[in-house]
Chain A
């Protein structure tokens, strides 16, 4: 039961990263792939009318986490205090930049919101990456299951760590490049004309850059948490995740080289899913690892709600999931086509 809930909340977060990650990615490469004001409108239009639906996966994740792992939410959210508020503020800015940027057809106005869009997307990718690094490295949990963490301490990975150190920064940079590549692949699929061509180039360079970064953080992860690989070998979900990574990587490469844009984007999505499934399975059952002593770590079993709460949540969650996927299919089918500069000169959706 608890393992299933661990899988479900992880799934919600993974879906969020894959969906909103492409919007962050489009934001990161925005200035590179779109040069004229019209092209920049095209990128925003390509994100489409469902960006708030994407963001709701994060909200749904927060609510579900509170219902099924309340003690984790309490420890983690209070501990990540400043980082979380930075994420929230960036999400506010990002949402506003998409929503109000198109309200006034004026160079200054749109230029300003384009800057906010790029800036917030960039920072969000870094912050989410650092958060992922923190999950793997661990946080300074005390014996009460609490922690409070400054942005940085001595940039070391043991003992009283901060949010940023050499390891979490590497994961943040990897995330930045990965999401930028993901967003470019999305823009390849959703745009035409010059934005499309520049996105193709961007995607190729960025995906190439992820390879050495991935190898680097793999080695670093092994150094920081040598216990994880030993643990992971016995978890079938890790093998599944690795399998997904391999299949999706080949799908992505073949899609990009054969100009099969949907295939490439599918591969890109599943590559992110595979990476996160592998990571999520490798750390299970520990949800928050303590750098001050393994005995302080919080496992899913220790932070879960009562059995009744879990069972009740198991009733409404699947219903909500089926419903929301239905809405998604209904709306996204109507916005399936490419956003074209020639056809959609100004309008968004």
Chain B
């Protein structure tokens, strides 16, 4: 089962892993920012306070850049199901195609119809329709997340399917498929994690302006809103959603749980390692320092609960990269804990009215924004490495799913192409985002973004002013 460097499945996995990790750096921020935009637009409508409109316009630009890169890097994902995972598509397409199709019909159409109007159409739409456009884009981005997570949840824990006479999967029960318990837990966990990214980024920008003494009103708004939502979402990402997710894994993928903890021998009072390096050959965790009973409690609700060890399962059903899985999981929970502590302290300072004067805290908030990206990425690596060696858990192995007709030469060629193209996209994104941050929210938008004065737009409809 071990993937070797000449194995075609390895290269297709590597390409999918690379393109999906890169892609997901962008949607996690758009999903996290979307409701902030809705909230600020709503406050602006209610109070008429221009600071909310300024915040909205500024973050809409950042949102738009992220969205554009999210769209262009997202399209190859769907097509790779066919190009690199043809045998998987043939096997499971009748099921997973349902949600991928729905994502296009319900989520992408909604987002793409309103995104241009959201970013540049403030004057053309009028304030109320502009608010509705923000809601539409937020709903679109979250429902897109839902459909993709239902698809992933099916691969983690298949429900609502049946095996047809020809041996291929077909759908048996749409609500069983769409409301897979795994999907509901995974969706809430993932969306909270996206909010963590969004709110950390907002707080970081607030801290950046505060430390430089720029845009004081906006800086305060970002710091307050960012740290508050960051605390709430950091708590929710752990309890109840992360906790439920761990219980889900413990119940349906016990071998994955054992691998996540590097646990070779089963026991009750199983601990969570704070430090330790899995040594798969020797079947032990080297240099372990553990919190006793923590894993038993997290996965099954009591300290005495028995947690299965890898030794109880044949090595053919072990995840094929236990080490990476172990580190991904531990990095995720470590970062998650840091997020809660950091944001609890930030909110305490905010409550005392000392957030903006606490320089060292502002420095930490400013520099902390990459951490949620890392936490989201390793969280997904935990989910996907933990699913191995299965493509559809218990039904279909990853080694069976790749396109047999595609040569390594083709896959490596396209992988190199993606690496080059995405490197350039990354530079472009950083440059343009940095430019917007440098300009700041106060400066009136540059001519290229300035909405047209109402009167001169030919064909403008008065009724849209409402």
Contact = CB atoms under 8 A, between A and B. Distances in A.
Nearest to A316: B102
Interface string A46-63: 001110110110111111
Interface string B56-80: 0000000011001001110110110
> How many interface residues does chain B have, given as a range?
35 or more
A60 B82 contact: no
Nearest to B96: A66
Interface stretch (B47-55, B324-332, B399-407): B399-407
Interface stretch (A165-173, A205-213, A239-247, A337-345): A337-345
Interface string B84-101: 101101101111111011
Interface in A73-111: 73-82, 84-85, 88-89, 91-93, 95-96, 99-100, 102-105
Nearest to B78: A62
B42 interface: no
Nearest to B147: A63
B446 interface: yes
Contact of A56 (B82, B112, B425): B112
B145 to A, nearest CB: 15
A331 B111 CA distance: 12
A161 to B, nearest CB: 15
A70 B104 contact: no
A327 B113 contact: yes
Given A48-B116, A64-B101, A309-B95, A77 B83 contact: yes
Given A62-B79, A67-B97, A323-B109, A348 B120 contact: yes
B458 interface: yes
Contacts of A84: 79, 82-83
B182 to A, nearest CB: 20
A347 interface: yes
A347 B405 contact: no
Given A53-B112, A66-B101, A70-B89, A337 B459 contact: yes
A52 B115 contact: yes
B395 interface: no
Interface of B: 64-65, 68, 71-73, 75-76, 78-79, 81-84, 86-87, 89-90, 92-98, 100-106, 108-110, 112-117, 120-121, 124-125, 136, 164, 168, 170-172, 174, 403-407, 410, 413-414, 417, 421, 425, 428, 432, 435, 446-452, 456-461, 464
Given A66-B93, A84-B79, A99-B65, 6 more contacts: A59-B108, A96-B68, A305-B97, A331-B113, A331-B116, A336-B459
Interface of A: 48-50, 52-53, 55-56, 58-68, 70-71, 73-82, 84-85, 88-89, 91-93, 95-96, 99-100, 102-105, 146-148, 305-306, 308-309, 312-313, 315-317, 319-321, 323-324, 327-328, 330-331, 333-338, 340, 343-349
22 contacts: A49-B120, A60-B101, A63-B78, A63-B97, A67-B97, A67-B101, A74-B403, A77-B82, A79-B405, A82-B414, A84-B82, A85-B83, A96-B68, A308-B172, A313-B97, A316-B102, A316-B105, A323-B109, A338-B459, A347-B449, A348-B448, A349-B124
